[in-house]
Structure 1
Amino acid sequence: MKIAIFSDTFYPDINGVAQTLKKLTNYLEGQHISYKVFAPNPASTEYVSDHIHRLKSLSFFLYPECRIAFPNFVQVKSEIEQFSPDLIHVATPFTVGLCGVYFAKKFNIPIVGSYHTDFNDYLHFYDLEFLSNPLWKYMKWFHSPFKKLFVPSIDTLEKLNNRGFENLEIFPRGVDCQLYHPNYQKELVLTRYGISEKFLLTYVGRLAPEKDLKTVMKIANSLPPELNKQVHWLIAGDGPLLEELQMAALPNMTFTGYLNGVGLAEVYSATDLFIFPSPTETFGNVALEALASGTPVIGANAGGVKHIISNGVTGHLCEPGNAEDFVTRIVQLLGNDPFRNQMSLNARKYALTQRWDQIFDNLLNQYSAVIDEPAKKIYA
């Protein structure tokens, strides 16, 4: 089996799509399955691989971390002819994704896609709601040739199904429970960031409007004064709102910048409650990472997150944007150690069932089913 992956983002980019695709290619290597990735050249050149064909690109003005690629169709055609893939997997609906769709049709190669980001939900946070109808029309047209469209959650599947999308399959996310676990030393994190308060509340993610950081700030400003004296906030991530958030920050709030690897895992493990108000997640990788670390999650009852958190068992689901609802749950859990400790055990137990290898095994079976469908590959 030979798999060609077309994506407008890939490692070392910092986002859920890039991380998921990197885990997929790691899995393919472990299974000795040939693959070729077509992706924009990154801002950083620290990662080089013979399996990746990099495309010239420029930074995107709304998302400076993301890049718009300008594929050289002659070069890509040559790569495709030389590699001769059995399947094309398109992960994003921009220029690289369009390139993948074009060559799948040109060479009659079976094509599948994955739906990672609900861009329509982002429009509200950028005052671009007027683009909703044309965006949905484009997304439906773009994904119509796919033999299967892999979506990360039931919520996304239902949303797309209601919009008339076809051939939908669940492709959830797993978590590395060897990296993310509850047994790191909390004191290391407290010392590293100069924290003396009793409780640690953490947000991890991109610092951007669609993550609803305004609600985080409202929550931080609404905690009862006596409890607030015992709480310290860690905000882990980077993005366009960083400077604005720092200017509005309370004295008990620390911005760590972007974290990954053991540094991020230590923060999750040291955290008493993970606060995640984002209503725009198709899945919510960071919520699952927190659960793997034995940290209960208080999140928005929206998107994929509502299928990760078991309400009252591994955390709580709150009305999106309702800071009072979040505050009520925080007060309840920080005031009840036995209940919070039981949630922590439940969280870790659930995360242990979310194994990447099982998820990718199923994806591989889906690939095989598409490849085995009657079709004739003709090179032009």
Structure 2
Amino acid sequence: MIVGLFNDSFPPVMDGVAIAVKNYAYYINKKYGKAYVVTPSFPGYKDEEEYEVIRYFSIPVVLRPPYRFGIPFLDLKAMRKIESIPFDIIHVHSPFSSGVLGLYIAKKRKIPIVASFHTKYYDDFKEATKSDFIARLGVKIIVEFYNRVDEVWTVNSATAETLRDYGFKKEVKIIPNGSDFIPPRNIEEYREKIERLHNLSKEEVVILFVGQMVKQKNVEMLLRSLKVLKDENISFKAILIGTGKDEDYFKKLAEELKIEDRVIFTGKVLDRELLKAYYARADLLAFPSLYDTSALVVKEAAALGCPSLLIKGSTVAEGEGVIDGLNGFLSEDDYINYAKKMKEILSQRELLKKVGENARVTLYKHWEEIVDIVVENYKRLLDKYKGKQ
């Protein structure tokens, strides 16, 4: 089986979709045949994956660094390469340049194409343009794209509902995300690595955030809740991992709130073993995003027995199946209540440990298991496609 995985983000641009594509490619290539990743170029970056990554011409997305806007049809060399590969099936993970390219290849070769829906695009368009009209128009164009593929997948029922709210009427298949982390036996060594790196005591309470540094992730609310904890003389260190267009804004806000002594901004962490160590050392993953449709970080944290504090009613909370006090924690969407909830649960060490273990059992699933399911669905779709011919 030869699979083409088309997406607009891929390392060094790291987000949940890029991580999903990376793991799809790795396990397909390892167990089932050949996988090619097709994605925009990134100046100065050299791919060192076990499978082939094909890059096409791109320019910066000014409003959303470090993302790139791909223009594949201007890159004749890349197009010749892509068109020479005898793909059996195309799987696109974005409706933008890579999705359009994948659809073009699939229709030209008369092979099946799957499209995964990952993102609340209306929110992205509204944030970028400040126009409800343009955001709705953008969503309409995206729905038209998904109407043209053979099958649409998404990561959970809540995300499928978002796509239906956009006007999509066809069937949506649920294929969940996984995690590439394997729970380590020597977890104390991972914890000590972070303690040495940031000069933390073993007793220090660590609150972790992992994600893009953009306002849609509700990071400002998190910082204001940390201010409340400090004002109430709660001892903690907050570690915020990630980068994005609003990173400088958040650093300045931390200074204005006078919590810069409690907050560590690490920037991007590409080393997966180091990231695993951060989860291992964290007492709580604070992820108050209302924007995300699914959160790989919640599954990653669960793999290390770290529970998450999410927003009640959010797509992430409902989609991941987080139950307050059982396999995670839920809070109202305001900084006073979020701080109150953090104070309450961080004071109950045994509860934290128990909920973290329940998260590992109920929320964690390794990517290899997920890709096994993915390939079975590819085969089903290929058989169905052959039956039509």
Same fold (TM over 0.5): yes
8 Å CA contact retained: 2:55, 2:78: no
Once the two structures are superposed, residues 151-181 of structure 1 have per-residue CA deviations (whole angstroms, 9 ceiling, x without a partner) of: 0111111222342242311121111342678
Distance 1:189 1:80, change over 3 A: closer
Q: Which piece of structure 1 moves more, 149-158 or 96-105?
A: 96-105
Structure 1 unmatched runs, 5+: none
Identity %: 25
The answer as to 2:294 corresponding to 1:269 is no
Structure 2 unmatched runs, 5+: none
* C-alpha distance in structure 2 between counterparts of 1:150 and 1:225, whole Å: 45
User: CA shift at 1:77, angstroms?
Assistant: 5.5
Q: Match of 1:243? A: 248
The alignment yields a C-alpha RMSD, in angstroms, of 2.4
Q: Match of 2:8? A: 8
The answer as to 2:190 corresponding to 1:178 is no
**One-letter amino acid of the structure 2 residue matched with residue 9 of structure 1:** S
TM normalised by structure 1 equals 0.90
8 Å CA contact retained: 1:111, 1:145: no
The answer as to 2:150 corresponding to 1:161 is no
Once the two structures are superposed, residues 207-240 of structure 1 have per-residue CA deviations (whole angstroms, 9 ceiling, x without a partner) of: 1111111111111112263443x11111111112
Once the two structures are superposed, residues 56-106 of structure 1 have per-residue CA deviations (whole angstroms, 9 ceiling, x without a partner) of: 111111112111112137556543553222211111111221122122223
* C-alpha distance in structure 1 between counterparts of 2:142 and 2:90, whole Å: 18
The answer as to 2:132 corresponding to 1:119 is no
Distance 1:336 1:85, change over 3 A: same
User: CA shift at 1:190, angstroms?
Assistant: 2.7
Once the two structures are superposed, residues 240-264 of structure 1 have per-residue CA deviations (whole angstroms, 9 ceiling, x without a partner) of: 2222222222121111121231221
User: CA shift at 1:40, angstroms?
Assistant: 1.1
8 Å CA contact retained: 1:201, 1:234: yes
* C-alpha distance in structure 2 between counterparts of 1:68 and 1:117, whole Å: 17
- Which secondary structure state, in structure 2, belongs to the residue aligned with residue 372 of structure 1? helix
* C-alpha distance in structure 1 between counterparts of 2:90 and 2:266, whole Å: 39
* C-alpha distance in structure 1 between counterparts of 2:57 and 2:124, whole Å: 26
8 Å CA contact retained: 1:182, 1:293: no
8 Å CA contact retained: 2:4, 2:91: yes
The answer as to 2:372 corresponding to 1:361 is yes
The answer as to 2:59 corresponding to 1:58 is yes
Equivalent pairs, count: 375
Q: How does 1:72-87 map to 2 (within 5 A)?
A: 72=73, 75=77, 78-87=80-89
The answer as to 2:156 corresponding to 1:144 is no
From 298, 314, 335, the equivalent of 1:323 is: 335
Q: How does 1:1-380 map to 2 (within 5 A)?
A: 1-48=1-48, 51-72=52-73, 75=77, 78-126=80-128, 127-162=130-165, 163-178=167-182, 183-185=187-189, 186-196=191-201, 198-223=204-229, 225-228=231-234, 230-249=235-254, 250=259, 251-259=261-269, 260-301=271-312, 302-308=314-320, 309-320=322-333, 322-352=334-364, 354-375=365-386
TM normalised by structure 2 equals 0.89
Distance 1:319 1:122, change over 3 A: farther
